[in-house]
Amino acid sequence: MSIALGGCLKGPPIEFGLTEDTGGHITYALGAAQALAARSDVDRVEIVTRLIEDVGLGAAYAVPFEPITDSLAIRRIGTADRRYLCKGAAAADRPAFAAALIAHIATLERRPDVIHAHFADAADVAALVRDRFGIPFVYTAHSLGIDKANCASGPSEAMASRIGEENRAIAAADAIVASSRDEAERQLMSYPAACPAKIHCVPPGAGLDYATPSDLTRARALIAPFLRDPDKPMILAIARPVAKKNLGGLIDLFASDARLRDRANLVIVAGLRDGPDTGEDEQRSVIAGLLAGLDRHDLYGTLALPKRHTADDVAALYALARETRGIFVNPALTEPYGLTLTEAALHGLPVVATCHGGPADIVARLGHGLVANPRDPGSFAAAINTLLDDEMAWARASIAGRTNARSLDWHGYAARFVAIVNGLLTVPAAKPRPSRLLLCDIDNTLTGCTVGALGMAAYLQAEPNLAFGVATGRSLQEAERLLVEWGQPAPDVLITSVGAEIYWRHGARLVADADYAAHIDHGWDPAAVEARVAGLAGVERQPAVEQRRHKRSYFAEEPAVVAAIRSAVTDLPVRVIHSHGRLLDIVPARAGKGAAMQWAARALGVAPDQVYAAGDSGNDLDMLAQCHNGILVANYSTELAELIGRPTIYLAHRAHAAGVVEGMRAFAMERAA
């Protein structure tokens, strides 16, 4: 069962912008439900939402039960108040909705196995359902108040209430599904109740249909009344008319850049409206601002602001923008994910997107454009001009988007979601106490060769008394993603962020090692670290998503720069780790892969001479140096050359995971001799 209370939800086609809260989360909820319903291991999916009786919105939203397929339906729960309610007003009706939903579930012969709550209001309802029936729930936030508050002019009681509600949802959820690394590792982790161990990064699919020739004709007709020269490259923006989407700022930066005004048209699709006075207060304010910008900058003939559109029109506008060799833009002040960026990619339309939030992840993964800071209009306009100027760069971005967007598949999303849910529902089987522990780096040790990875998985399957763990510089979510992609079994222990965090597996769930975190916290002063490194030449701070509670991360390539950093923090109780030629991490003195390895071995009761470690790069140095049975895979970096020849180090002839298996078998033969 999926619960989505906000907006107007019905079967396709979705009426985007019908209300200010009918946006991308509707696409997400439907896409996820359709993919889950198509699976053979899922019997049925229902999306539950409010029943709305409003002549202005249409009769579809007043239908109590709407079948979509044989295994998917939308169920609308009615209360005494059946008006369309904006978020604030809907909160007052929520107890009645929850009571009605609980009464409905009580009548079912088979109750849902799990609930997927979209937004914190749905999580509040899901928690009440769990209290009554014991049904676990998964929470997807979609948009978080802390980031939005940072874009606002000042604090408000409503925003404080929203943030509190989101924190309660994060605390209560059995699992949390985020769409991007930024959401999983920065946005959600800004909340006091957040715990990385129950946050899963599962990017949604991108499923907008391709445009037909007749759709293209209709799209041309949609914008033709606004434009003098419709064949110019189209700068296209599609967003709900809310302030954080920064559509007014887009008009200002377009108007202020003479080259853009001269060479391109700007097309903004900002929801559905009958006139400037329709919709909620924020929608009216944003639309009024767009119309004022049109007039103030005299953009008649170069700015199109269509009032109404369909889903087919949206697909056609992407295709038409590509045909004109245009650009899709997302200038939001902050963007939790950015589903429209994946839709643009599917249509081969290059993008320029905000650097604040999830879009940076999407653009990095798909390689279909650039990110820029919308708070710096000049740099954002320059990024658009860069793609318009460089035909080869535009073509590369177009091809990359179409090719790489295929990886964003709803069926892949559904498979990950089902695996997460099975973990919530499955009682873990008892495992024998391990007599040995193997810790492996991930990048270029477990990964890098598909044949070797298959052999590694088979080896681990045949060793029931061997505890398997990973020790990586990556975050928990990134480590889990790579292990799934490379077909590796779920580790018993995950040492992440170069030994700054430890997570233990309990069945399919992960639990953070709070005792280890408290242990390494002794003497740790991240502000002092930042102050010492700030201003050093040749040092660049890594993005916010790479910073952790017990880790500060930088880019530094030159040996002299690395030496300067070490000198700057020499009197602080920290460990400096340089790897891969440019990655530099600073962690507490008590942390690091080696220290975490020893902690994990003690926790498992494994003797030091029964601990094995495998790695390839500089951030594995302390772990391999401290291990009685170290394995250096053949593709090791020169950062580990000092270990060669030590009696505790086995230098494998094979690279990547095959080298790990080779080393383990060599140590076994040595013991048997």
| Whether the model pTM is above 0.75 | yes
The CATH number of the domain holding residue 561 is 3.90.1070.10
Last residue of a domain, one of 351, 373, 407: 407
How do strand 369-372 and strand 2-4 relate by DSSP bridges? Answer: unpaired
228 and 327 co-located in one domain:
yes
**Has residue 275 got a pLDDT over 80?**
no
- The mean pLDDT value of the chain amounts to 93
pLDDT-derived band at 154 (thresholds 50, 70, 90) equals low
Q: Are residues 657 and 623 in the same domain?
A: yes
pLDDT at 278: 66
Per-residue pLDDT tens over the stretch 245-263: 999 999 999 999 999 999 9
- pLDDT for 299-356, tens place per residue? 999 999 998 877 778 889 999 999 999 999 999 998 988 889 999 999 999 999 999 9
501 and 534 fall within a common domain: no
Same domain, 453 and 533: no
For 608-626, what is the mean pLDDT? 96
Q: Would 548 be classed as within a structural domain? A: yes
Distance CA 579, CA 584 (A): 6
**How high is the pLDDT of residue 152?**
62
Do strands 327-330 and 351-354 pair parallel, antiparallel, or not at all (unpaired)?
parallel
Q: Is the pLDDT of residue 208 over 70?
A: no
**pLDDT for position 428:** 72
Q: Is the dihedral of CA 178, 180, 182, 185 positive or negative?
A: positive
> 502 and 561 share a domain?
no
Q: 23 lies in a domain?
A: yes
Asked whether residue 206 is domain-assigned, the answer is: no
Residue with tokens 């930088």: 554
Residue 424 lies in a domain: no
Residues 448 and 494 in one domain: yes
**pLDDT of 604 higher than 70:** yes
* C-alpha Rg value of the chain to the nearest Å: 27
CATH number at residue 252: 3.40.50.2000
Pairing between β-strand 351-354 and β-strand 369-372 as defined by DSSP bridges: parallel
Regarding whether 460 and 383 lie in a shared domain, the answer is no
Q: Do 9 and 78 belong together in one domain?
A: yes
Q: What is residue 56's predicted lDDT score, i.e. its pLDDT?
A: 85
420 assigned to some structural domain = no
Q: How confident is the model at residue 673 (pLDDT cuts 50, 70, 90)?
A: confident
Are residues 500 and 361 both part of a single domain? no
Cβ–Cβ < 8 Å for 125, 117: yes
Does one domain contain both 309 and 458? Answer: no
pLDDT in tens, 496-513: 999 999 999 987 789 999
Average pLDDT over residues 219-226: 91
- Tell me the percentage of the chain whose pLDDT exceeds 70: 97
Q: What is the mean pLDDT of residues 30-47?
A: 96
Confidence class of residue 21 from pLDDT cuts 50, 70 and 90?
A: confident
* 3-state DSSP of 306-335: CCCCCHHHHHHHHHHHHHCCCEEEECCCCE
Judgement on whether residues 281 and 386 belong to the same structural domain of the protein = yes
Of 153, 178, 201, the position where a domain reaches its end is 201
Q: Based on the domain organization, do 184 and 224 belong to the same domain?
A: no
Q: Report pLDDT digits (tens) over 463-496.
A: 999 999 999 999 999 999 999 999 999 999 999 9
Write down the pLDDT at residue 373: 96
* Mean pLDDT value across residues 439-455: 96
The residue out of 149, 172, 201 marking a domain boundary is 201
Name which of 606, 610, 630, 611 is nearest 620 in CA terms.
Answer: 630
Residue 460 has pLDDT above 70, yes or no: yes
Residue numbers of the domain that contains 180: 2-201
Please check whether residue 626 is in contact with residue 597, taking contact to mean a CB–CB distance below 8 angstroms.
Answer: yes
Q: Starting at the edge strand that comes first in sequence, how are the strands of the sheet with 466-471 ordered?
A: 509-512, 501-506, 493-496, 466-471, 436-440, 611-615, 629-632, 649-651
Question: For the chain, what is the domain count?
Answer: 4
Dump pLDDT digits (tens) for 525-562.
999 999 999 989 999 999 889 999 999 999 999 999 99
Q: What is the pLDDT of residues 52-79, one digit of tens each?
A: 999 888 899 999 999 999 999 999 999 9
CATH code for position 600 = 3.40.50.1000
pLDDT value for 466: 97
